Chains A and B, each alone.
Chain A
């Protein structure tokens, strides 16, 4: 049984709780993260990376990022990886990721605006 909404404020609160899914439906945003999920990527743990990215973005209340997956780009030994194109138009390829690195990238690059150079691909 839903709780009765008694004010505009309560309506706003409910809205902020339920709007994440709708945001997803507004199409590509200014920042795009593509998790490379070929068979190799998935084997290397790309699914976990995707899940933790989703969680990190939501935790940090970031809503201007489109998260998508795509196939292998050929650098199989550096997986799991994702590429991130930010508002400047530049694309960064983050490789050999784990959950901690994802957290750091979200904090420093997306929130702080500074790419985490040590996790970038050197190829």
Chain B
């Protein structure tokens, strides 16, 4: 019977079954029969293999090939190609989700490479419905050895020496628990298994029961022998029907083989096991509640002591462990406690299974040695965050746990370290959250959960969680009050100290932990009535508008475009952002990253639509202005004619002020005119929008520099009552290595500014640019256009970490720019006082820094050199502090930018306000627009005592929308680019305009998330 040459192991864990594994299995068996391979090739339905996200999966042995995303219709191909002819079906092979490359065998896959499987040793290897398979992998040998060769005390000692701790959450030493129970007095003793895996997000116990039920049965029998018991119960939650089915089957088979029942192995040892199903009460996972429920009562906890080891089920000494804890036991007996204790850390031995879920590429079950860093689990095994989003936090330990933010990715995952950070190891649910998760909403979710699941027996839990939920709900709904955060902390601590059972005592953890790490997000909800993640419906009109720093009504203008009402659309845009034409070209469109259409196919091309809209502008479209004689008489100065300063002036003018703008350079525009190359932003476009602002009564003087031509004191003496500092961060940061002062080495902004303002700059044959941001890419592409033969960008991290826009980086490469990653400059090479190149160290990505990115560290590959006769430096920008701050009394932040009040934008000097890069450090145009607007409102409030920002009130669009209609099926319209040979040697605009039809189609793709049914 065992002459089969090939085994196909089909994962029939719950995940794969939901994805259709059983149908695939049947189809494969049928195909095997049809191809006459019956008996030669065996199909085995196994437990969970782990990579649930790409299921159904099947593993073919002896080749060790893993097929993914299987469908019944692929069965014939696999049978004919692989099983008959031995040719692996490449296109169905498991891909590394993060890289999209194919890797051929299981052991080479990063998902499996770092895992150590003890608990999950048989999951995905054996058929859980065939007890013989368990026996073939040494099943029941541990029980046989224990019963025939060991005394109960020896068993307990072995477990104690292994260092195993309870995997259910608290981490109590397992051997000690067994010993206490053995010593306890009682007529009868019970062995219990907690399989009421209620923590949302944890599913390892389900997988073990589904994939290797005998290991738990065997371990419970061993435990029964050790404590002197013969009766046992396993309490499984009702939501796991498949686990119950396989466990029942395993019990039946074990009974047939005589491995449970009476006189096992002829030793006189009796052992019976009964399955009890839960009935949907989370609190029954608490040990005393679980026992009360087995007794047939309402599953309410009771105070401890007495502990279950002394008085448990029906008042008898009872040993309760969870599924994962038990699954370790047979291996500890077989391989010895010493072997087990060699895995893990000093205080936490062995492995832990984590259910990796949420916004991570490789979701599934992973088993790792305790003490592996959180970052390794999420990035090396989990493959990083999904859809290129940014990691925000990992939630560990379910409703009793907490979150760990990106600053702590290096934390070793063990009981003590995790607890120190305010979370708990818990049962092992590890949910990855990205930028789209609102931490207040998550806290509310968990409190809502425990409030529902509270059994109601003790007041702190019953009433306290209800009160916390009320507060969190009002915060999420935009009705938060000052002091709410403190109230939550107070209530949380009270509940922790006074609740009766573990459920209540840990219930406030998710709230306290999110406040600890994400307090500013609570503040945004309460003070600014804003949900930065774009989740809370009462604070978010639509995800795109919420994501826009300037708050532009995206669905509004998009739907107007869809009705060909271009003028109205543009006016609506300029309600919140005057630089529609500029942003149509250079905005990094956060709105598109949040577009919900992406869940259907691809996000809306919002920037494409905006470009089409501004191309239709024939006469300046100026939105509403409220003339005000009093305001017109108040002198307000704006220093710096960049996007922040001009926006501030624009909004002030709309309130009736006549602000005067002072610009140091010869032309207004700031970075827009000095840094951004004309192939991205044609200057007539920029000039048009600046003229539009001047029409509102804004006066701009150029060539007059703060700190040189005038001081803040002068302004005050001239009668200015308020001033806005939008001076940017134009100073370059140097590398701090030798040779930087050599001729041919300059700052990127200096290089770009010189060309953009004077029309010429010196460019050599071979140019190197150091840095990975937009300024670096702009400088590189400008150098290409000015005739450099070779242009190399050196960056110390990898492409994934580059701050420059991905589209710009791609186009730079198409134009011939070479990218050199993981290169860190060591020394500038000079010859005869001229630049010759640079010596770099080859870096590798090491552990995680505070930004949650891997830190580049020197690797083993040593040094290398890049030749160049011109060097451009773009590694960061700073405020010109000496010019701006001297003598004003302005306070700076820790990073040496101007400190402002986050609501009013006022600086430490009463009449001076600030915004843009000078406050935030180098950021995007739309951030500067938002900073200018905020300061304009702040200045007006300072001068009038009231908020007159009429543009902030959203109007419901009068465009037609049918909420019942299905979304149109057009694909995303692409933005066409000028061919490379037509753009590489000139400064023509690279992006080409749309015609009307693709634009109208694109506008109709909008799902209109802003739409609300009239109530």
Direct contact of A and B (CB under 8 A): yes
Q: Is the CB of A37 within 8 A of B135?
A: no
Chain B binder among A7-15, A89-97, A102-110, A111-119: A7-15
Q: Which of A23-73 contact B (CB under 8 A)?
A: 24-29, 34-35, 37-39, 42, 50-51, 54-55, 58, 66-71
CB proximity of B33 to chain A, nearest CB, Å = 15
Chain B residues near A11 (CB, 8 Å)?
A: 135, 140-141, 144, 265
Chain A residues near B976 (CB, 8 Å)?
A: none
The answer for the CA separation of A71 and B44 in the assembled complex, in Å, is 25
Q: Is the CB of B2 within 8 A of A58?
A: yes
Q: Is the CB of A2 within 8 A of B253?
A: yes
Query: Whose C-beta in chain B lies nearest to the C-beta of A51?
Result: B40
Chain A residues near B140 (CB, 8 Å)?
A: 5, 11
Q: Given A2-B253, A4-B257, A18-B2, are A69 and B265 also a contact pair (CB < 8 Å)?
A: no
Chain A binder among B57-65, B700-708, B798-806, B891-899: B57-65
Answer whether residue B258 sits at the interface, using C-beta atoms and an 8 A cutoff.
Answer: yes
Answer whether residue B965 sits at the interface, using C-beta atoms and an 8 A cutoff.
Answer: no
Chain A residues near B64 (CB, 8 Å)?
A: 27-28
Q: Is the CB of B256 within 8 A of A1?
A: yes
B915-926 vs A, Cβ < 8 Å mask (1 yes, 0 no): 000000000000
The answer for the CA separation of A21 and B8 in the assembled complex, in Å, is 11
Chain B residues near A29 (CB, 8 Å)?
A: 62
Answer whether residue B133 sits at the interface, using C-beta atoms and an 8 A cutoff.
Answer: yes
Report the count of interface residues on A (CB-CB < 8 A). 40
Answer whether residue A122 sits at the interface, using C-beta atoms and an 8 A cutoff.
Answer: no
Answer whether residue B515 sits at the interface, using C-beta atoms and an 8 A cutoff.
Answer: no
Residue from the list A6, A27, A28, A67 in contact with B258, Cβ < 8 A: A6
Q: Is the CB of A22 within 8 A of B125?
A: yes
Query: Whose C-beta in chain A lies nearest to the C-beta of B125?
Result: A25
Interface of A: prevailing SS: mixed
The answer for the CA separation of A67 and B145 in the assembled complex, in Å, is 34
Q: Is the CB of B86 within 8 A of A37?
A: yes
Q: Is the CB of B61 within 8 A of A69?
A: no
The answer for the CA separation of A1 and B44 in the assembled complex, in Å, is 21
The answer for the CA separation of A28 and B61 in the assembled complex, in Å, is 9
The answer for the CA separation of A22 and B138 in the assembled complex, in Å, is 11
Residue from the list B5, B85, B259, B266 in contact with A54, Cβ < 8 A: B5
Chain A residues near B62 (CB, 8 Å)?
A: 24-25, 27-29, 66-68
CB proximity of B697 to chain A, nearest CB, Å = 78
The answer for the CA separation of A39 and B132 in the assembled complex, in Å, is 37
Query: Whose C-beta in chain A lies nearest to the C-beta of B126?
Result: A22
Residue from the list B85, B126, B265 in contact with A8, Cβ < 8 A: B265
Query: Whose C-beta in chain B lies nearest to the C-beta of A53?
Result: B5
Answer whether residue B619 sits at the interface, using C-beta atoms and an 8 A cutoff.
Answer: no
The answer for the CA separation of A27 and B65 in the assembled complex, in Å, is 9
Q: Given A5-B265, A37-B85, A68-B63, are A58 and B136 also a contact pair (CB < 8 Å)?
A: no
Q: Is the CB of A15 within 8 A of B135?
A: yes
Q: Is the CB of A18 within 8 A of B133?
A: yes
The answer for the CA separation of A38 and B84 in the assembled complex, in Å, is 9
Answer whether residue B334 sits at the interface, using C-beta atoms and an 8 A cutoff.
Answer: no
Chain A residues near B40 (CB, 8 Å)?
A: 50-51, 54
Most buried by B among A18, A39, A54: A18
Answer whether residue A75 sits at the interface, using C-beta atoms and an 8 A cutoff.
Answer: no
Chain B residues near A51 (CB, 8 Å)?
A: 3, 40
Answer whether residue B148 sits at the interface, using C-beta atoms and an 8 A cutoff.
Answer: yes
The answer for the CA separation of A20 and B5 in the assembled complex, in Å, is 10
Q: Is the CB of A24 within 8 A of B259?
A: no
Q: Is the CB of B266 within 8 A of A7?
A: yes
Query: Whose C-beta in chain B lies nearest to the C-beta of A19?
Result: B136
Since A54-B5, A69-B84 are in contact, a sample of 17 more A-B pairs with Cβ atoms closer than 8 Å, ordered by chain A residue number, is: A2-B256, A6-B258, A8-B141, A8-B144, A19-B136, A21-B44, A22-B125, A22-B137, A25-B59, A25-B125, A27-B105, A28-B63, A29-B62, A54-B40, A67-B5, A67-B62, A71-B85
Sort A-B residue pairs by CB-CB distance and give the 9 closest, nearest first: A69-B86, A4-B258, A20-B2, A70-B86, A18-B136, A8-B144, A19-B136, A25-B61, A18-B132
A-B contacts, 12 listed (Cβ < 8 Å): A3-B257, A4-B256, A5-B265, A21-B7, A21-B42, A24-B62, A27-B64, A27-B105, A27-B106, A42-B85, A69-B84, A71-B85
